[in-house]
Structure 1
Amino acid sequence: MIKNYRFVLAVALLGIGFAVVPADGANRPNVLWIVIDDMSANFSCYGETTIETPHVDRLAREGLRFTRAYATSPVCSTFRSAMITGMYQTSIGVHHHRSGRGVHRIELPDGVRPVPEYFQEAGYWTCNGSGLPGFDSSGNPTQVEKLGKTDYNFDWDRAMYDSHDWAGRSKDQPFFMQVQLHGGKIRGASESKYAATVTRAVADFGQATDPQTVQLPPYYPRDPILLRDWSTYLDNVRLTDLHVGRVVDRLEQEGLLDNTLIVFFTDHGISHARGKQFLYDEGTHIPLVIRGPGVERGNTRTDLIEHIDVAALSLAAAGIEVPAKMQGDDILASEYMPKQAVYAARDRCGEAADRIRSVRTDRYLYIKNFYPQRPLLMPSDYKDSKLILQRLRELQNLGKLSELSQQLLFSPTRPPEELYLYGVDRWQTNNLADDPEHASALSQHRSRLNQWIDETGDQGPETLE
C-alpha cells in the first residue's frame, strides 16, 4: 500500500531516534494545536528576513522544525476536514470546498471519526478557540466567547467540543485544544483592511512593514498594490506570532507548558493568485513545528510530511490508539520510516470546478491537470473580490505583465502535466514535463500518482446526484 512505502534510511540521520512517550493518569500530556489560516512559512526560523517572528522561533528552538511539510489540500474546509480525521479528503468525499452544507449532506465512512471524539472518550477536555480568553482569533479584544473555526465538510456533533477554552476543565484533567487563528485573513482584501492592519502593526511593533522591502515570487509584478498587500500580509505574520507568544506565555504562567505538546502549523499557503487553492509550493508548503514532552529540542527534519499526520501523532502522544483506518502517520514514533512521497488534491472551490492532483518526492513535484482546457484563474467570486486579483487582471488587460506572469497566471489553457525540480526551481516556473532528460521521472511520478488515486479511493469530481 502507498502508506507503507518508505525510504530505508538510517533514522539517526533524520533525528527520528526519539518518540513522544505518553504518561499515565494525571500526567498525560495536554495536546494543543495552533492552526493558522492562509499563511506560508514566512517565519524567521524558515528563512524569512523581512520581518522577525521571535515567538514561533522560540517554539522551533525548543522543539522540532519540519522543513518539508505539505497540506493535502490548499483550501480551508477540505484541509480541515482532512486534518480533523487524519484522512485524505479525497478518500472520504469531503474534497469539494464547503460541500455538505446544504440539502446534500456528507457523513463520514465507517471507521472514520473526528479526532476530538477520541480525546473526549479518553477523558480529555476538548476545546476550540483563540487560546486567549477575552480575545478573538484575530487577536482583537472581544466579549463574545465562542468556538473557533471548524469548517468541516461533513456532519459532526458540536458536543465533541466541551468548550472554547481549557479553563473550564476539572482539576488535573488533560486537555486537547485547537487554537484557531485568522492569520493571513486579518489583512482582508480591501484598502480599508490594509489600513487597519497597518494601524495595528504600528501600535504593537512601532512600525508597519515597508512595502518596498518585500520580496515577491518572480511571476508577481512589483506593483504598488501587490507590494502593499504582501507587506500587510507580513504584518499579519507578525501579529500571528505575537498571539502565539501570548498563548505560550499563558501556558507557562499556568504551569502547563512543560506538559503540553504544542503542534504549530498553517492550513495552506498565502491567499494569492498562485497560492491558496493551487498545488504549487506557494499553496501547499506549510510550516510545522512541534514542541513538548519527549520532543528533542532544536532539531530539524527534512523528510516529507503530510498535514494529516498531525492527527495520528497527537493521538499517539496521548496514549490513544491510532485507528487502523487512519491514513496519517505517527511521524514521532521511534519505528517511523520516512515517506517516499506526499500527495495533494484541489477540487471545486466556490463556482470554480477543477480537479488537480499532485505527488511530491525528494526531487520532484508532479502535477496532473484533469481539465487542461480551463485557465488557471477561472472566474471566482472569492479570488476576484481581492484587490490583488483585480489589479493583476487590469495589468493583463493593459499588456503590462511580464511574459512569465502572462504564461503562468493568464494562459487560456494549462498543460495536462507539470514536472518541477526541487533544489533548482523554488517557485515552480520551469515545467520539465516535455523535457526528454526528465521523461523517466515523469513516467514514474505519473504512475505513482495513479496508484495513489486508485489505492486511496479518490472520489473524483462531483456528480448531479
Structure 2
Amino acid sequence: MKNLLLSIIFPLFILLTPHSNGQPSQSAKSPNIIFILTDDQGAHLSALGTKGIHTPNLDRLAREGVLFTNSFATVASCSPSRSSIMTGMYPHANGHWRNTITPKLSDPDTEFGRQSSTVDKVGVHEYIKTLPEVLKAHNYYTAITQKFHMSPPWKFPYSSRNPVHHDPEKYKKVITQFIEESGSQPFFIQANISPPHRNFDHHMKKFPQYLTKPDEIAVPDYLPDTPLIREDLSKYFGCIQLADACVGAIMEVLKQKGIYENTIIIYTSDQGEPYHRAKASPYYAGMHVPFIGKGPNIQKNIISDALISHVDIMPTILDFAGLPIPSTVQGKSLKDLLIGNKKQVPNRKYIFAEHNSHGPPRAEHYPSRAVFDGQYYYILNLMPDKAYLAPADLREEKPWGNKSYVATLKAKEFFPSQYNALLMLESCRPAEELYDMATDSGQLNNLANDKTYQVKIEKLRKVLYHWRKRTGDDYNDPNDIPTRLSSKTR
C-alpha cells in the first residue's frame, strides 16, 4: 500500500513543482504590469540631475524603485526600437531593422490581422515570439496607447487599443477603462506617451503650463549654445514635463484602484532626443535613455550604474510573471538586479547598438554598429563612403517645428565643433569612431586615429565583431578590419 501511494503522490508532486525546462512556470497570482514608453526622450529627468527640468512624478517613481543611469536603446528609431523591446532581440536579428508603415490604433480590428491593408515589407520574423504573443497565450489582458508602429500587425495581438497620446486627464480615463476591461485577468498595459516627439508646439500650445525657461536649461555639448537652440530645447524639456504629468495620471489611477503597490511599473523611452547626432544615428545621445523599475519586491530608492539594454525588458517582464523566456531572446532579465539578489546579477561589460535606416528612402540608409564599455564609445560605419540624409523631423521647421538644424548651421563661426559634427553626420563619415564619454560627452573629438588609444580601439573592435557573429549580423574577420578600414579612417 505504501509503495502504491508513493507511485501516485510522487508523479503528482513533480507535476505541480513550478519548473519546466529550466524556466519558471506562471505563478498562481500573475503580476499586473504597466510598461510606460515615452517617445524620443533622452536621459533627462530631474532625478538624473538634468538642469532646468522638473519631473516630480518620475522622481517619486525613482525613489520608490530603481533608477538606472546607464540604460540604452538598441537603435535610435521608433519602429525597430519598439520591436526590439517586444522581442528582446536586436533589429538586425529580429528582421525589423527600420521604421515601418503600420495601422493606426484607431483603425478597426481587421487592420491588425493577416488581412490588414497596411502591411510593410519589413517586420519581425514569423517564427519569433513577441511579448504580447507570449502574454496572451498565458491569459494576460494586453492593451496599448498612443501609436502602434510595429510590423507585421498580427505579431502584436493587443486585447485593446486607444490612441490617447499626451493628455493627462484622458490617460486617467483610458487606463481606468483598460483595468476594468481586464476583469479577473492579469493585465499588461503598454502606455505609450507621444511627447517629447516633435512637433513640440503641438504639445506646448495645448499645455503651455509645462514650458521650461530657456535661460535655466543646460545645452548638450553636441549642440551650439545659442538663443534659438535654447528656445527649441525649452520646448523639448517642457514636453518631458508634460510626459511626467501623464505618468502621474497613470500612477493616480493605480492608487485609486488600490493596486499601485502591487503593480510592476517599468518606465523608459524608445530612443534619445529628437536632434541630429542623436535620433536616427548611432551616437550616444540617441541611445541613452531613462529607465525606472518599481513594484513589489523591487528595491526602493536605488540608483544603479549597471549597463542595461532594451533587449532586457522582455525577459525581465516574463521573469517577473513567472513565464518561459523564448530561446530567441538576446537580452538578460533584470529581475535579480531590481530585487537586489546580488548573487545572480548579470555581469554585463558592454552595451551594443546599431543604426540601419530610419525610413525606407535609400538616402536615410546608413548602417552602423556601436559598442560602449561604460567609458569608451566605439562606432563602426559599414558604408563610410556613402552620404547620409537625416530624416525630415531632424531638419525641417515645417511641419516639424525643428529650429535646431538651421541654428547649428548658422552657428558656424562661434561653434565650429558643433557645426563640423553636423556636417560629418551627413557626409562620408570615418569608418571608425572612438569617443571618451568621460571627457567628451558631445562626441566631438574622434580618437580613432590617436595612437594612444589603439589598444582600446582594437579591443572594442574585436568585441563588436564577436557580438555581430554571435547575433547573426553580417561580419568580417577582425584580423582584416585594420587593413580594410585604414584608408577610410580619418
Alignment counterpart, residue 293 of structure 2, candidates 285, 290, 294 = 290
Whether the 8 Å CA contact 1:91–1:459 is kept in 2: the answer is no
The one-letter amino acid paired with 1:415 is P
Alignment counterpart, residue 381 of structure 1, candidates 375, 389, 392 = 392
In structure 2, C-alpha distance between the alignment counterparts of 1:271 and 1:43, rounded to whole Å: 16
After superposition, the Cα gap between the structure-2 partners of 1:423 and 1:158, relative to the gap in structure 1 and judged at 3 Å, is: closer
Cα deviation digits, residues 195-214 of structure 1 (max 9, x gap): x6156132xx5xx3222222
Instruction: After TM superposition, give the deviation of residue 43 of structure 1 in Å.
Output: 0.5
Instruction: After TM superposition, give the deviation of residue 24 of structure 1 in Å.
Output: 3.4
**Is it true that 1:447 corresponds to 2:450 in the alignment?**
no
After superposition, the Cα gap between the structure-2 partners of 1:307 and 1:157, relative to the gap in structure 1 and judged at 3 Å, is: closer
Instruction: Give the 3-state SS of the residue equivalent to 2:94 in structure 1.
Output: coil
- 2:52 aligned residue: 50
**Is it true that 1:66 corresponds to 2:73 in the alignment?**
no
The one-letter amino acid paired with 1:52 is H
Whether the 8 Å CA contact 1:74–1:267 is kept in 2: the answer is yes
- 1:139 aligned residue: none
**Is it true that 1:197 corresponds to 2:199 in the alignment?**
no
The one-letter amino acid paired with 2:208 is A
After superposition, the Cα gap between the structure-2 partners of 1:253 and 1:379, relative to the gap in structure 1 and judged at 3 Å, is: closer
**Is it true that 1:123 corresponds to 2:135 in the alignment?**
no
**Is it true that 1:108 corresponds to 2:125 in the alignment?**
yes
Alignment counterpart, residue 446 of structure 2, candidates 400, 418, 431 = 431
The one-letter amino acid paired with 1:73 is V
After superposition, the Cα gap between the structure-2 partners of 1:109 and 1:103, relative to the gap in structure 1 and judged at 3 Å, is: closer
Instruction: After TM superposition, give the deviation of residue 220 of structure 1 in Å.
Output: 2.0
Whether the 8 Å CA contact 1:273–1:389 is kept in 2: the answer is no
In structure 2, C-alpha distance between the alignment counterparts of 1:29 and 1:107, rounded to whole Å: 27
In structure 2, C-alpha distance between the alignment counterparts of 1:401 and 1:243, rounded to whole Å: 39
In structure 2, C-alpha distance between the alignment counterparts of 1:218 and 1:398, rounded to whole Å: 14
Whether the 8 Å CA contact 1:201–1:239 is kept in 2: the answer is no
Instruction: After TM superposition, give the deviation of residue 437 of structure 1 in Å.
Output: 1.4
After superposition, the Cα gap between the structure-2 partners of 1:458 and 1:200, relative to the gap in structure 1 and judged at 3 Å, is: same
In structure 2, C-alpha distance between the alignment counterparts of 1:405 and 1:241, rounded to whole Å: 30
In structure 2, C-alpha distance between the alignment counterparts of 1:403 and 1:375, rounded to whole Å: 21
Alignment counterpart, residue 416 of structure 1, candidates 406, 431, 438 = 431
After superposition, the Cα gap between the structure-2 partners of 1:371 and 1:401, relative to the gap in structure 1 and judged at 3 Å, is: farther
**Is it true that 1:270 corresponds to 2:273 in the alignment?**
yes
Instruction: Give the 3-state SS of the residue equivalent to 1:347 in structure 2.
Output: strand
The one-letter amino acid paired with 2:189 is M
Whether the 8 Å CA contact 1:93–1:459 is kept in 2: the answer is no
Instruction: Give the 3-state SS of the residue equivalent to 1:407 in structure 2.
Output: helix
- 2:149 aligned residue: 151
After superposition, the Cα gap between the structure-2 partners of 1:419 and 1:404, relative to the gap in structure 1 and judged at 3 Å, is: same
Instruction: Give the 3-state SS of the residue equivalent to 1:434 in structure 2.
Output: coil
| C-alpha RMSD of the superposition | 2.5
The one-letter amino acid paired with 1:197 is M
**Normalising to structure 2: TM-score of the pair?**
0.78
In structure 2, C-alpha distance between the alignment counterparts of 1:369 and 1:397, rounded to whole Å: 27
Instruction: Give the 3-state SS of the residue equivalent to 1:221 in structure 2.
Output: coil
**Is it true that 1:339 corresponds to 2:341 in the alignment?**
no
- 1:320 aligned residue: 323
- 2:159 aligned residue: 161
Instruction: After TM superposition, give the deviation of residue 300 of structure 1 in Å.
Output: 1.7
Alignment counterpart, residue 300 of structure 1, candidates 300, 303, 320 = 303
After superposition, the Cα gap between the structure-2 partners of 1:24 and 1:404, relative to the gap in structure 1 and judged at 3 Å, is: same
In structure 1, C-alpha distance between the alignment counterparts of 2:26 and 2:449, rounded to whole Å: 54
Whether the 8 Å CA contact 1:68–1:303 is kept in 2: the answer is yes
Whether the 8 Å CA contact 2:272–2:289 is kept in 1: the answer is yes
Instruction: Give the 3-state SS of the residue equivalent to 2:36 in structure 1.
Output: strand
Larger radius of gyration: 2
Instruction: Give the 3-state SS of the residue equivalent to 1:90 in structure 2.
Output: helix
Instruction: After TM superposition, give the deviation of residue 390 of structure 1 in Å.
Output: 6.0
Instruction: After TM superposition, give the deviation of residue 396 of structure 1 in Å.
Output: 3.0
**RCO comparison, higher one (Cα < 8 Å, 6+):** 1
Whether the 8 Å CA contact 1:330–1:336 is kept in 2: the answer is no
- 1:403 aligned residue: 416
Instruction: After TM superposition, give the deviation of residue 109 of structure 1 in Å.
Output: 4.6
Instruction: After TM superposition, give the deviation of residue 399 of structure 1 in Å.
Output: 4.9
Instruction: Give the 3-state SS of the residue equivalent to 1:396 in structure 2.
Output: helix
Unaligned stretches of 5+ in structure 2? Answer: 1-23, 103-117, 163-174, 476-490
After superposition, the Cα gap between the structure-2 partners of 1:398 and 1:38, relative to the gap in structure 1 and judged at 3 Å, is: closer
Instruction: After TM superposition, give the deviation of residue 157 of structure 1 in Å.
Output: 4.6
The one-letter amino acid paired with 2:143 is C
After superposition, the Cα gap between the structure-2 partners of 1:234 and 1:295, relative to the gap in structure 1 and judged at 3 Å, is: same
After superposition, the Cα gap between the structure-2 partners of 1:391 and 1:236, relative to the gap in structure 1 and judged at 3 Å, is: closer
Unaligned stretches of 5+ in structure 1? Answer: 1-20, 130-147, 461-465
Instruction: After TM superposition, give the deviation of residue 182 of structure 1 in Å.
Output: 0.4
Whether the 8 Å CA contact 1:62–1:291 is kept in 2: the answer is yes
After superposition, the Cα gap between the structure-2 partners of 1:390 and 1:292, relative to the gap in structure 1 and judged at 3 Å, is: closer
In structure 2, C-alpha distance between the alignment counterparts of 1:24 and 1:69, rounded to whole Å: 29
Instruction: After TM superposition, give the deviation of residue 283 of structure 1 in Å.
Output: 0.6
Cα deviation digits, residues 332-360 of structure 1 (max 9, x gap): 23423221111111011222111011011
- 2:83 aligned residue: 81
- 2:253 aligned residue: 250
Instruction: Give the 3-state SS of the residue equivalent to 1:183 in structure 2.
Output: coil
Number of residues paired by the alignment? 410
Cα deviation digits, residues 199-242 of structure 1 (max 9, x gap): 6132xx5xx32222222123322333322110011110111111
- 1:279 aligned residue: 282
In structure 1, C-alpha distance between the alignment counterparts of 2:75 and 2:438, rounded to whole Å: 23
- 1:29 aligned residue: 31
- Considering fraction of residues, name the structure with more helix: 2
**Is it true that 1:367 corresponds to 2:371 in the alignment?**
no
Instruction: Give the 3-state SS of the residue equivalent to 1:423 in structure 2.
Output: coil
In structure 2, C-alpha distance between the alignment counterparts of 1:414 and 1:236, rounded to whole Å: 32
Alignment counterpart, residue 188 of structure 1, candidates 196, 199, 210 = 199
After superposition, the Cα gap between the structure-2 partners of 1:258 and 1:245, relative to the gap in structure 1 and judged at 3 Å, is: same
**Normalising to structure 1: TM-score of the pair?**
0.82
